[in-house]
Chain A
Amino acid sequence: MAAGRPPPGILDDIVAAIGNTPMVELSRIAPPPGVQLFAKIEGANPTGSVKDRIARSMLAEAVASGALAPGQTILEPSSGNTGISLAVVGGRMGHPVRIVMPDNTTPEREQLLRAHGAEIMFSPGAEGPNGAIRMAERLAAADPSLFMPFQYANEANPRAHEQTTGPEILDAVPDVDVFVAGLGTGGTLTGVGRALKAARPGVRLVAAEPLPGEQVQGLRSLEEGYVPPVLDASVLDDRYLVSNREAVVGTRRLMAEEGIFAGLSSGAALTVALRVAAEMDRGSIVVLLADGGAKYLSTGLWERDLDVLESDMEGQVLW
């Protein structure tokens, strides 16, 4: 691209394509009469997930504050999406990217990370996401030359959602009554929650939380449990556990009834949105579909026998 601003309608970099994702009404997955259900399609971001938003904000703020120097290596624990987003955004900025990932995620994530030039270090899958966090913290402590954005404690994570995702939701559905999203770092719910509650104090924030399989609950003590510092629990109004089986059923419904190719946490969020909808007489629900389905194809999510799939998922970290 020649110097100067690109012509109207043309973005000067893929990073500029992050955000402003579609809002789609889910009219075929019919909620009760009087209740409207809308989906924010975050799979439409450049790398196919909501994490593009926080990768952009965490790195931009780190550069602005001087915490991230030119060419410095970025290290981050991630079960996939954030790592892929950092590989693209960080790569565009000229930073080597190293991701600590549990060794039992899907092969698509490994392929995508390598394709985008990231280095992968595997943590024991039996320790779940908490194991990847612990390993990354050890690596960062041992090598001060590394920069770790650390999405679990970086306020630029919820801020990205407070400044972009939340306002986009209010623009599209100004009368939103309930917002539902999956709970990972807590950044999406915290940031969107702050934006929505500032505009509509009565709005309810509802979290869909994965029920972890026994094989990924490899904690030796309760104190090894982890409450992400960016999660502001005061913005949450309700929180539901969703099993892998329920999440698969929801993901399949999105595909079969709405033609939306989304990932497993999206099916979980839909499950919770419908549970909330069943208790409402009227109102608008926005459910955030955090990623597209491409990174889950190898699991056979849409075609394999549900019992077999559920059994196979027991030992995997998928959302």
Chain B
Amino acid sequence: MSQVRIPPVLRETVGGERELPASGDTVAAVLDDLFARYPALRDRVTEEGALSRFVNVYVNGRDVRYGTGLETAVGPDDQVILLPAMAGGRA
């Protein structure tokens, strides 16, 4: 199972967990697995079925939007990170 990191702003939807195991071999399947267990998470991170523009998803640090999106492959040892969009601090 891959591990999914949940940012502080979304933890209330998953019972306060910081990281959750999830099954699935694509980002879409991993998220569906989480949504089935935590329906409130779906409401927060999707807009009309698509990922909210305020949420970024990374597999092993790489933003999936610039790869194959929700069809990005996820292996059992991979780390998936959900992160709210933030301005970089370097500015």
A251 interface residue, CB < 8 Å from B? Answer: no
Compute how far the CA of A130 lies from the CA of B61 in the bound complex, rounded to whole angstroms. 22
Inter-subunit contact B54/A227 (CB<8 Å): yes
Interface pair B89/A318, CB less than 8 Å apart = yes
How far is it, in angstroms, between the C-alpha of A317 and the C-alpha of B44 when the chains are bound? 26
Chain B residues with CB under 8 A of A45: none
A222 touching B91, Cβ below 8 Å: no
Let me know if A217 and B90 touch, CB within 8 A.
Answer: no
Contact, CB under 8 Å: B90 / A290 = yes
Question: Is A81 engaged at the interface, CB distance under 8 Å to the other chain?
Answer: yes
Residues of B with C-beta under 8 A to A185: 87-88, 91
Query: Cα distance A279–B18 when bound, in Å?
Result: 32
Q: Identify which of B52, B62, B87 contacts A228 (C-beta below 8 A).
A: B87
With a cutoff of 8 Å between Cβ atoms, the chain A residues found around residue B65 in the complex are 239
- Does residue A128 face the partner (Cβ distance < 8 Å to B)? yes
Query: Which residues of chain B are near A284, meaning CB under 8 Å?
Result: none
Q: A217-B9, A220-B9 are in contact. Are A319 and B88 (CB under 8 A)?
A: yes
Q: What are 30 A-B interface contacts by the 8 Å CB criterion?
A: A51-B91, A78-B91, A81-B91, A82-B91, A128-B87, A129-B89, A182-B88, A183-B88, A184-B87, A210-B88, A210-B89, A211-B61, A212-B86, A216-B89, A217-B7, A217-B9, A222-B10, A222-B54, A224-B9, A226-B85, A227-B53, A227-B85, A236-B66, A238-B62, A238-B66, A239-B65, A241-B61, A241-B62, A241-B81, A319-B90
A240 touches B84 (CB 8 A): no
Question: Which of B45, B81, B89 contacts A222, CB < 8 Å?
Answer: B45
Interface size of B by CB at 8 A reads 27
Question: Does chain B have a CB within 8 A of A63?
Answer: no
Q: Tell yes or no: A221 within 8 A of B by CB.
A: yes
Per the CB 8 Å criterion, the residue count for chain A at the interface is 47
Are A209 and B88 neighbours in the complex by a CB distance under 8 Å?
yes
The answer to whether A151 and B84 touch across the interface, beta carbons within 8 angstroms, is no
Interface pair B86/A128, CB less than 8 Å apart:
yes
B62 surroundings in chain A (CB, below 8 A): 238-241
Q: What residue of chain A has the Cβ atom nearest to residue B62's Cβ?
A: A240
State in angstroms the CA–CA spacing of A241 and B83 once bound together. 10
Name the residue among B54, B62, B85, B89 with the largest chain A CB count within 10 angstroms: B89
A222 to B61, CA, bound (A): 20
Within 8 A of B (CB), among A199-258: 209-212, 214, 216-228, 236-242
Q: Specify which chain A residues have a CB less than 8 angstroms from the CB of B83 in the assembled complex.
A: 211-212, 241
Instruction: Check: A59 CB closer than 8 A to any chain B CB.
Output: no
A277 to B83, CA, bound (A): 26
Q: Top 5 A-B pairs ranked by shortest CB distance? A: A184-B88, A239-B63, A184-B90, A184-B91, A317-B89
Task: State how many angstroms separate the Cβ of B55 from the closest Cβ of chain A.
Answer: 6
Q: Tell whether B21 is near chain A: CB-to-CB under 8 Å.
A: no
Q: Is the CB of A219 within 8 A of B9?
A: yes
A118 contacts chain B at the CB level, 8 A cutoff: no
Task: Report whether B87 and A152 are in contact in the complex, using a CB–CB cutoff of 8 Å.
Answer: yes
Q: In the complex, what distance in Å separates the CA atom of A319 from the CA atom of B10?
A: 24
A57 at the interface (CB under 8 A from B): no
Query: How long is the Cα–Cα vector from A218 to B53 in the complex, in angstroms?
Result: 18
A173 to chain B, nearest CB (A): 23
Q: Name the interface residues of A285-319: CB closer than 8 Å to any CB of B.
A: 290-291, 317-319
> Given A222-B44, A239-B63, A242-B61, A214–B90 Cβ distance below 8 Å?
no
CA distance A238 to B83 in the complex (A): 16
CA distance A102 to B88 in the complex (A): 13
Asked if A190 CB lies within 8 Å of chain B CBs, one says: no
